[in-house]
Amino acid sequence: MATFYFVRHAKAGSRGHWQGDDRVRPLSKKGLKQAEGLIDVMKPFKISAIYSSPYLRCMQTVEALAKDREIDIKKTPALAEGRGLRGAYEFIDDPKLDNVVLSTHGDLVWELVEDLVRRRVIKPGTGGYDKGSTWMVEVEDEKPVRARFIPAP
């Protein structure tokens, strides 16, 4: 059994008010507080690796956690906005990975939850997609078998 923690990036400044490349839109003050709060949220869990979308807001979401655990963040386009679940399942399908944090975007988390419902791992309406929240997904034989929603800090 392997465990993956899908973290939706914390609150960032408004997309509508941001001028410039959306990939470098940073977390807001509240988002930075949520990122710090992730340290406490993840306290009970073992973490062996942290992967992140290369978007600044995703990287910033797991920076404090990575520093606290003394783990380097590995940037991967597989978790970027618009990549869908295929990128996420590259991690789930890797038998060498366990206790991995994946910092990503709302669209991927939405698709993950839809897939968990379709597979009957969770009931419709379970959990949420809030910025800064986490889905803990337990995987057996490269298939999700259990999932738990962890609210944003």
Q: What is the pLDDT of residues 51-107, one digit of tens each?
A: 999 999 999 999 999 999 999 999 999 999 999 898 888 899 999 999 999 999 999
Contact 126, 32 (CB under 8 A): no
Asked if residue 17 has pLDDT above 70, the reply is: no
Return d(Cα 45, Cα 7) in angstroms, integer. Answer: 14
Whole-number Å distance between alpha carbons of 115 and 100: 19
Q: Is residue 17 part of a domain?
A: no
Q: Residue 78: inside a domain, yes or no? A: yes
pLDDT band at 118 (very low <50, low <70, confident <90, very high): very high
Number of structural domains the chain divides into: 1
pLDDT at res. 16: 62
Residue 40 resides in a domain: yes
| Residues forming beta bridges with residue 103, ordered by sequence position | 7, 52
80 domain-assigned: yes
Could you tell me if residue 120 is inside a domain? Answer: yes
121 domain-assigned:
yes
The answer to whether residue 138 scores a pLDDT higher than 80 is yes
**Which among 73, 136, 70 is positioned nearest to 109, based on CA atoms?**
136
Half-sphere exposure (Cβ direction) of 45: Cα atoms closer than 13 Å = 24
Structural domain containing residue 95: 2-11+22-139
Instruction: For residue 145, tell me if it sits in a domain.
Output: no
CATH code at position 6: 3.40.50.1240
Q: How confident is the model at residue 14 (pLDDT cuts 50, 70, 90)?
A: low
> Would 96 be classed as within a structural domain?
yes
